[in-house]
Structure 1
Amino acid sequence: MAVQPATTNTNANPEDGLVQREPKNKSWVKKFLIVLAIGLLVFFGFRYYSNHAKPQDAKAAESTKRDPNRRPATVSAVAAKKSDISVYLNAIGTVTPRSNVVIRTRIDGQLMRVLFNEGQYVKQGDLLAEIDPRPYQVQLAQAQGQLAKDQALLKNAQLDLERYKTLLDQDSAPEQQVATQNSVVSQYKGTIQTDQSQIDNARLQLTYARITAPISGRVGLRQVDAGNIVHQSDANGILSISEVKPITVVFSTPQDNLAAVLAPLRKGVKLPVEVYGRDQKNKLAQGFLQSADNQIDTTTGTVKLKAQFANEDESLFPNQFVNVRVLLGVNKDVTVIPNAAIQRGSQGTFVYQVQGDQRVTVKPIKVIVTEGEFSSVEGGVSVGDLLVTSGADKLREGAKVQLGKENAGGGDSRAGKRRGGRSDARGEGHPQAGAGNDRQKRSAGQ
């Protein structure tokens, strides 16, 4: 059987094969688009469900967190009470010696001896140093010799005057000669007075050679050693003496407080003054207000005051910076609350009062005097009102609260603590208390 070779149609169109395969490609594209559409639907459906399909109990839990009425805030509270509170004037002062003297030589010469120790306490009149006296001893001897010479000349002139007077009585000498001799006697008398003043000056210079203490006090560091030549024009002098027993403190106060300070001073009342260290806790000394300056500083609007202290224990040192408290008086039977209960916001100064239903209400107040941890106030607070002292950050009008364990034994347990520290005579709140309530201010202003 013969095999017939295949014949090829050379006249066939080459695009016929492509036309026959086209339906198969279209079917594959449709399947791909369908799968892609389903995937996109599943993806966006999942996103939508995740964002918008939270369960209702989750919403309720979130609402409970945001609503303070559903979840009471734990706070501490202290009851307002009636008490006495002191009115203090606070300032920063500088310790100054009652007297401060720089000892300088009054004559030029060599410093022969130094008779004091640095830091020693000396009394008025004690010998401190000696300057070489020999040049001034020589000047004294010269003045004394000149005096003796002039006294001899005066005596001789007086004898001649007596002779001329005798001759004049006998008409043996002219009257003019007697008058001339009388003038010579007067000249010698004047010369003797000059000589005597030279002697006194030389003796005075000799006393300046011995340097004594003009005041009683504490000696500072020695500025010149023995053997050096000292002069009157030396700027630093030889030493300084400061009177530190008693000692004074100078401080400034605003002119608005001047009336409260001067009224007792005019009556002779010595206002008590206390000074503290930089920490305002360590009491250094207690004294009294001595005087006030005679004019107000126009650049600062303040007036200088001076207080005096015995300083027997030497707790105050010259040029030391101290915190000063002047007791102006005591306010009797006023409403007193802790500084921690005072809040500040856009509506002013206020407190949160805990009512019987364990809800808080806002009470506006006015701070009169602040002393230590307590302040006397006026306004909507009465004695016995329970005031929030901690945990007021997120409180608002009508918020539900629960008292902490520290209030189980009584809300006014802290109110009986001893008061101490700073106070403000102008009726403003304590600066540290205000700084500690920054978050409470922002909450109250919302």
Structure 2
Amino acid sequence: MFPSSPARLRRLLPVTAIALLLGACDSKHPEEEKAPAPNVSVETVRVQPLAISSELSGRIQAPRIAEVRARVAGVVLKREYREGSDVKQGDVLFRIDPAPFQADFDSARATLAKAEATRYQARLQDQRYAELIEINAVSRQDRDNARAAMMQADADIAAAKAAVERARLNLGYATVTAPISGRVGRALVTEGALVGQNESTPLAIIQQLDPIHADLTQSTREINALRRALRAGELQQVGQDQAKVTLIQDDGTPYPLAGKLLFSDISVDQSTGQITLRSEFPNPDLDLLPGSFIRVRLEQAVQPQGISVPQQAILRDSAGQPRVLLVDAEQRISERAVTLGSAQNNRWIVSDGLAPGDRVVTEGLQHVKAGDPVQITASAAGDQPIVQTTGQ
């Protein structure tokens, strides 16, 4: 039996502590294992043709607007059309009481008949006096009077015919017809209304809706910048017949039918400093209504060599400056400032800062920083169709 005195226990404690310390050292690895490099996706920058377009605002305008008015005075007897319907040129819209105009027409015809009878009598007398003057049976004065009477009768006939034509026109104006084909709006008068008293009373409005115009405005500053770039050879002109015109609907989706550019105005609005451009769109379903505010993307030029990157590849520093992360030849991350143009189709146009062949990080940006080694899991070339836009 060993004594269990306090002195012996004190001699054994240092030996136990050393053994425990050596055991703990043996349980540790010589060096900690390194974490694997994070995975990122990249897109290789490439140069490709870039369509330069401007997103302009404007309003829908009807190509033809006819304000139907009463051309004669009278009481409206009947409205012949259904409000909001489509009408064709020549369709009857209103009927004005024709009784007074019919009476005027009959009176004018009677006056014409009287004038014709008077001319008949004057012609016979002129013929007789022509024979009598040969044998000196009448004076030359009587002969001249007979000829003048016949000429006066001819003039009365012409005036009577003009009066008949005027009366016939007024009688026709009592039936109000559509001057153009289109969609007619609400009636501005009702049956029993007295119209045309000292003024041409408006009755209805007809508007042509298919095709329909979109009048756009663009600032002279943008137009001048575009012209300078074209003169410098940085851009190529797009012909008017080849210009692509896309209407952007209220929900942001493009209008399914493409339009065309008709013309650009030659004068500048002095109050706004803008120029009006007119485009035309098919409107078979009448989805586009006059007066509507719209946005139109108008292709105006082509940049032969352009660069773009996905929108998610752009980072912003504390000052709001755009930057991108690149993967270099050593598979390490580097950071570079870029200059952006406009965004279109989920891509940013890069006007400065990138060159063909650069590998831009598009996914996994939140897990890496400059100097970190990475592994590339996916790589793609920026070959999507790009359109650059310039806003007002």
User: Shared fold by TM > 0.5?
Assistant: yes
Task: Give the partner amino acid of 2:135.
Answer: Q
Q: Identify the match of residue 269 of structure 2 among 275, 292, 297.
A: 297
C-alpha deviation, 1:251, in angstroms: 0.5
Seen in structure 2, the aligned counterparts of structure 1 residues 80 and 300 have a Cα distance that, compared at 3 Å, is farther
Q: Residue 80 of structure 1 contacts residue 412 of structure 1 at CA under 8 Å; is this kept in 2?
A: yes
Q: Residue 317 of structure 2 contacts residue 323 of structure 2 at CA under 8 Å; is this kept in 1?
A: no
C-alpha deviation, 1:328, in angstroms: 3.1
Q: Does 1:79 align with 2:53?
A: no
Within 5 Å, give how 1:269-280 maps onto structure 2. 269-280=241-252
Q: Does 1:92 align with 2:57?
A: yes
- 5+ residue gaps, structure 1: 1-73, 429-446
State the Cα deviation string for residues 97-138 of structure 1 (Å, max 9, x = none): 111111111111111221111111111222222211111111
Distance 2:289 2:42 in 1: 42
Q: Residue 334 of structure 2 contacts residue 371 of structure 2 at CA under 8 Å; is this kept in 1?
A: no
Within 5 Å, give how 1:17-416 maps onto structure 2. 78-82=42-46, 85-231=50-196, 237-258=202-223, 269-283=241-255, 285-331=257-303, 334-342=306-314, 350-355=322-327, 361-368=334-341, 370-382=343-355, 383-387=357-361, 409-410=377-378
Q: Residue 354 of structure 1 contacts residue 388 of structure 1 at CA under 8 Å; is this kept in 2?
A: no
Distance 1:239 1:76 in 2: 66
Q: Residue 131 of structure 1 contacts residue 210 of structure 1 at CA under 8 Å; is this kept in 2?
A: yes
Seen in structure 2, the aligned counterparts of structure 1 residues 229 and 390 have a Cα distance that, compared at 3 Å, is farther
> Helix, strand or coil for the counterpart of 2:70?
coil
Task: Give the partner amino acid of 2:359.
Answer: D
Bigger RCO (CA 8 Å, 6+ sep): 2
- The structure with the greater share of residues assigned to helix is 1
Task: Give the partner amino acid of 1:245.
Answer: D
State the Cα deviation string for residues 235-256 of structure 1 (Å, max 9, x = none): 7711111111111101011224
In the superposition, the TM-score normalised over structure 1's length comes to 0.66
Kindly name which structure, 1 or 2, has the bigger radius of gyration based on alpha carbons.
1
Task: Give the partner amino acid of 1:298.
Answer: Q
Distance 1:264 1:100 in 2: 34
The 10-residue stretch of structure 1 (151-160 or 312-321) with the greater mean CA deviation from structure 2: 151-160
C-alpha deviation, 1:341, in angstroms: 3.5
- 5+ residue gaps, structure 2: 1-37, 231-235
> Helix, strand or coil for the counterpart of 1:101?
strand
Seen in structure 2, the aligned counterparts of structure 1 residues 112 and 363 have a Cα distance that, compared at 3 Å, is same
C-alpha deviation, 1:283, in angstroms: 3.0
Q: Residue 217 of structure 1 contacts residue 241 of structure 1 at CA under 8 Å; is this kept in 2?
A: yes
Seen in structure 2, the aligned counterparts of structure 1 residues 234 and 178 have a Cα distance that, compared at 3 Å, is closer
State the Cα deviation string for residues 61-110 of structure 1 (Å, max 9, x = none): xxxxxxxxxxxxx9987534325543221111211111111111111111
Distance 1:345 1:410 in 2: 26
Q: Residue 333 of structure 2 contacts residue 373 of structure 2 at CA under 8 Å; is this kept in 1?
A: no
Seen in structure 2, the aligned counterparts of structure 1 residues 145 and 351 have a Cα distance that, compared at 3 Å, is same
Distance 1:284 1:232 in 2: 48
Q: Count how many residue pairs are aligned between Structure 1 and Structure 2.
A: 344
Task: Give % identity.
Answer: 24
Task: Give the partner amino acid of 2:212.
Answer: I
Q: CA RMSD in A?
A: 3.7
Q: Residue 125 of structure 1 contacts residue 214 of structure 1 at CA under 8 Å; is this kept in 2?
A: yes
Seen in structure 2, the aligned counterparts of structure 1 residues 408 and 138 have a Cα distance that, compared at 3 Å, is same
Distance 1:423 1:378 in 2: 11
> Helix, strand or coil for the counterpart of 1:295?
coil
Seen in structure 2, the aligned counterparts of structure 1 residues 348 and 285 have a Cα distance that, compared at 3 Å, is same
